Chain A
């Protein structure tokens, strides 16, 4: 059974640019959650999608957005990048009905210079 696939693995962007990250969940999983992980803040919840609908959103500015497609694949977008957006972005897949736990992807390491 294929795991959670995140692309790209690494990104270097310049301040002010925008970036799109992709996540393909485990087959049959309908929920995709996104987290930002930094050494200082740990894992911070960004948002959760289920059946193409955003069900939850964390406390991040509107520059952070996402969507989910009918095949459950999800993308997140960060516009007007800031240095502080440098982080590991993790996608987590679950069946979505009162989770029995996540399976995480390998993450996308974003560096903003």
Chain B
């Protein structure tokens, strides 16, 4: 079992729809969870992070965490063509230092 798993996609949604990206992780001791966006040919950039169970909203983005189910998701509301990218889920297994493991990423395509 891989440490962090995501559906590879591609996920296609029409412009204005909600895109839902999912991620599961294997280490129950994982402490913090991140979503990064990576455009083709560019480096990953941090969208948001979440530590506690529940939802965390930032603009059009909502991260959801369920530690009991070892599940993290990212919702993108009112999807725009500029949201077309690969979305990487990442998990930090420690609190005091960084050992961040990335999932394989989900490719999202927003169709105008």
Which A residues contact B (CB, under 8 angstroms)? 31, 33, 35, 42-43, 45, 48, 50, 55-56, 90, 92, 94, 96-107
Contact = CB atoms under 8 A, between A and B. Distances in A.
Nearest to A101: B46
A99 B43 contact: no
Given A98-B92, A99-B92, A101-B34, A43 B44 contact: yes
A23 to B, nearest CB: 12
Interface of B: 31-32, 34, 36, 42-46, 49, 88, 92, 94-105
A76 B24 CA distance: 31
A103 B99 contact: no
A-side interface mostly: strand
Given A104-B43, A105-B43, A33 B98 contact: yes
A107 B43 contact: yes
A72 B88 CA distance: 26
The residue in A31, A42, A96, A97 that gathers the most chain B C-beta atoms within 10 A of its C-beta is A42
